[in-house]
Amino acid sequence: MFDGVHLGHQSIISKLNAISKGKDLESAILTFWPHPRKVFSPSDDLKLLNTIEEKKYLLEKNDLQHLFLKEFDEDFRNLTGEEFVKQVLVNKLKVQHLIIGYDHTFGKNKSGDFSLLKKLGPECGFEVEQVEAVNYKDLNISSTQIRNALSSGEIISANEMLGYNYSITGKVVHGKKIGRTIGYPTANIEVDAIKLLPKKGAYIVDVFVNNTPYKGMLSIGTNPTVEGKLITTEVYILDFNDDIYGEEISVNFRDFLHEEIKFESLEKLIDQLDLDKKRTDEYLF
């Protein structure tokens, strides 16, 4: 799936590019959409690290010559491992050298793995190698580990495993406009439903408006102090006063400020926002 295009994925791409140049072959990645779990368990509310646009951008900027994006549908899920190798990798993609991750399985009932590829390689005319896991604090880096870190508010750990700062992008939409009444006007971001939001709470972020970076403090939650019900994603942009309703902005997560808090009064909320602003302003970006 290459969800996140994290350091583990990047090690595969690095090896791919080195071999393609050394053997004068064309480099290509085959990935899927939607996530197989959405096909196997449609009711599973799985959130992903990347939207399809983000994944394509992250993969394409790694000097690949080809990106194949295959729809993961019923026909495709029912291919056995051997059928996938022969029908897709060999007949369609003409693979000559195949690189897979350390724990990769494929095909119906996970019938394909590194052993099958080693067996079929000589018969079908390709070489295969397996890339070792990339470790972070004694853990194998994986999309699941990064999702868990984000869901726990461990932004720095998630960013270190990704190799870049986790981000969200969305259109600025109208909210309740309570922030402007207390001196902290926020941009309410409409985030793609498939995208994983980090744990509820407040964060130090970079905000990109028309490709210009600003410091910001972002809140994910229900605004319990004013009896909010729906989860919103709102960002206060430091030293910024422009009207950006309807515009698309991006936010890069830097650090976790604190858990979501229900305050006794708006005055207590403002006191906390003042502290958050001071910490954000002093943060080394």
CATH of the domain at 111: 3.40.50.620
Query: Under 8 Å CB-to-CB from 74, ≥6 apart: which residues?
Result: 39
Q: How far is C-alpha 102 from the chain's CA centre?
A: 20
Q: Do residues 176 and 238 both lie within one domain?
A: yes
pLDDT at position 177: 76
pLDDT at position 203: 98
Range of the domain at 193: 165-282
pLDDT at position 37: 85
Q: Do residues 189 and 117 both lie within one domain?
A: no
pLDDT at position 155: 98
Q: Do residues 192 and 254 both lie within one domain?
A: yes
pLDDT at position 100: 92
Q: Do residues 67 and 134 both lie within one domain?
A: yes
pLDDT at position 136: 94
Q: Do residues 130 and 16 both lie within one domain?
A: yes
The Cα 226–Cα 45 span in angstroms is: 28
The residue among 97, 112, 98, 104 whose CA lies nearest residue 140 is 104
Domain-located, residue 14 = yes
Q: Do residues 174 and 88 both lie within one domain?
A: no
Q: Do residues 126 and 15 both lie within one domain?
A: yes
Number of structural domains, the chain? Answer: 2
Query: Under 8 Å CB-to-CB from 172, ≥6 apart: which residues?
Result: 187, 188, 189, 190, 244, 245, 246, 247, 248, 249
Domain-located, residue 152 = no
The domain boundary, picked from 125, 140, 155, lies at 140
Q: Do residues 99 and 63 both lie within one domain?
A: yes
Give the chain's residues under pLDDT 70.
none
pLDDT at position 85: 97
Domain-located, residue 154 = no
